[in-house]
Amino acid sequence: MEKEIADNLWKPSPGKTASLEMLMDDGATKLTAVDSIESEYRQIMGISPDEMYSVLRDPLDEVVKVDLSGLAHAMLNRADRRERYIRYFRDTIEKPYEILLTEYDAGVTGKTKYRKKYIGLFREEKQEAVIITAEITKDGSVMWNVMNAKKGTIDRIRSGIEVLYGE
């Protein structure tokens, strides 16, 4: 997968949203802050207030289910505050830099399984780059991850057994 990524393939940052802690520092209760973040996630992902999920189409014309468990996963590690990047998430599915087929150990069964990893590349003002990955899990949910990276150091996350889509 190693190759130099042209500057024009890095998308401009769509801007960060406020983290849970930032909203609470501004006077919101934890419940109000979570509701606000959930509301923005729903709007970006096209999840109506009456639904628990929505579907997006990737460049391979395959359906990707996005639901509230993806937001919950993004908010688990409070040190990372990944909910700040929810404006990046939809573009990572619909217009990724790459889609990779990756293998993983299924744990108890000992069988090797496969999942897709979507990679979005975005330029930030302070950091050189933000890489968003969306992995489709065995139950069809999306797990979001956010990494700061410098040009030339991203190949460690761009590992897979096959490139399914790429610029």
Q: Where are the domains positioned within the chain?
A: 7-166
Q: Residue 5, Cα to own-chain centre: how many angstroms?
A: 19
* pTM score of the predicted model: 0.88
**Could you read off the pLDDT of 59-117 as tens digits, one per residue?**
999 999 999 999 999 999 888 899 999 999 999 999 999 999 988 776 677 778 788 88
Please give the pLDDT value at position 98. Answer: 94
Question: Do residues 102 and 161 touch, judged by C-beta distance below 8 A?
Answer: yes
As beta bridge partners, residue 116 has: 101
- Token pair listed for 143: 């797990």
